[in-house]
């Protein structure tokens, strides 16, 4: 399935998290909650990087349908950036080093913008968009990932996962449209994916450890075991993520080969019925 002709709406949804327990919101404990919290720290600056990478090529897009999807993509990513800033402000208010880590990420991304070409930046974007898409698929496809979690935090992550699914092919289609789909474009995207994979997960682990250390739990062996069990055994979402990651290296890869839009339709129906982002 490679059709990109569907509406990508900008939803102005706000989540109030400032009075919620940012450490204990996940039933598997602090180490698992901080894994999600570490991911949140990447989104405000990361989404801005994605927006800049795609917007750079907006005037070169020939397809009206793709141009409309780019507009939706930019709107959704802007909302993600805004809401994760609010999420991260709740982390900072709880005494966690969210502001320091956000500043480190901003400096790193500014260096990337200065050192790499727009085509390379777009290749980084589509690599990271693949990660967000496959993590979204795992989170939406296995209720155990967020079962028993605080309803507000669960709602944030499900909303974000739904919208990452909705727009998961947009940056990729822009890359294919303006950079190309020949062997050179393929080689660039897979080499960049390998580099991005190492760099991204190293930084996620580093940010995660900083949060856990700030709470004095770096030596909590039981907490680390619960995290390992959650990620790799039950429900074991990381196992599926890496299987889906490999799909990216097929020459004929397209994000919608994994057609999981049923999750989007189910969420939209629940949202329409309740009038709020469903938890």
pLDDT tens digits for range 33-50: 999 999 999 999 999 999
The overall average pLDDT reported for the chain is 95
Give residue 279's pLDDT. 77
CB 90 within 8 A of CB 18: yes
Give residue 5's pLDDT. 56
Distance CA 62, CA 215 (A): 51
pLDDT over 90 (residue 9)? yes
For residues 226-250, one letter each, b for 16 or more C-beta atoms within 10 angstroms of the residue's C-beta and e for the rest, the string is bbeebbeeebbbeebbeebbeebee
Confidence of residue 1 (pLDDT cuts 50, 70, 90): very low
Q: pLDDT (tens digit, 9 = 90+) per residue, 112-148?
A: 999 999 999 999 999 999 999 999 999 999 999 999 9
In order, the DSSP letters of 126-190 are HHHHHHHHHHHHHHHH-GGGTTT--HHHHHHHHHHHHHHHHTTTHHHHHIIIII-SSHHHHHHHH
What's the average model confidence in pLDDT over 72-94?
97
- Ranges 5-19, 69-83, 118-132, 244-258: which has the least confidence: 5-19
Give residue 85's pLDDT. 97
List the helix and strand counts (H, then E) for the chain: 10, 0
Q: Which domains does the chain possess?
A: 30-274 (1.10.620)
Other beta carbons within 10 angstroms of residue 157's beta carbon come to 22
In percent, the amount of the chain with pLDDT more than 90 equals 94
CB 77 within 8 A of CB 43: no
């Amino acid at each position: 399935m490679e059709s990109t002709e569907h509406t990508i709406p900008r939803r102005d949804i706000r989540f109030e998290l400032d009075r919620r327990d940012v450490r204990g919101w996940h039933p598997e404990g602090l180490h698992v909650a901080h894994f999600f919290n570490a991911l949140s720290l990447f989104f405000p600056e990361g989404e801005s990087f994605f927006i800049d990478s795609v917007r750079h090529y907006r005037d070169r897009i020939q397809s009206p349908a793709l141009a409309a999807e780019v507009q939706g993509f930019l709107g959704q990513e802007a909302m993600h950036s805004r809401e994760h800033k609010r999420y991260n402000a709740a982390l900072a208010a709880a005494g966690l080093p969210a502001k320091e880590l956000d500043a480190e990420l901003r400096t790193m991304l500014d260096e990337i913008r200065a050192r790499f070409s727009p085509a390379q930046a777009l290749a980084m974007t589509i690599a990271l968009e693949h990660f967000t898409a496959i993590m979204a698929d795992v989170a939406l496809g296995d209720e155990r990932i967020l079962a028993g979690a605080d309803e507000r935090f669960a709602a944030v992550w499900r909303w974000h996962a739904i919208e990452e699914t909705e727009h998961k092919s947009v940056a990729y289609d822009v890359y294919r449209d303006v950079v190309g789909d020949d062997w050179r474009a393929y080689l660039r995207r897979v080499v960049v994916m390998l580099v991005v994979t190492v760099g991204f997960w190293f930084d996620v682990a580093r940010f995660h450890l900083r949060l856990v250390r700030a709470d004095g739990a770096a030596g909590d062996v039981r907490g680390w075991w619960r995290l390992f069990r959650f990620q790799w055994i039950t429900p074991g979402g990381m196992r599926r993520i890496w299987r889906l990651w490999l799909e990216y290296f097929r020459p004929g890869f397209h994000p919608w080969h994994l057609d999981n839009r049923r999750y989007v339709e189910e969420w939209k129906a629940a949202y329409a019925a309740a009038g709020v982002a469903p938890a």
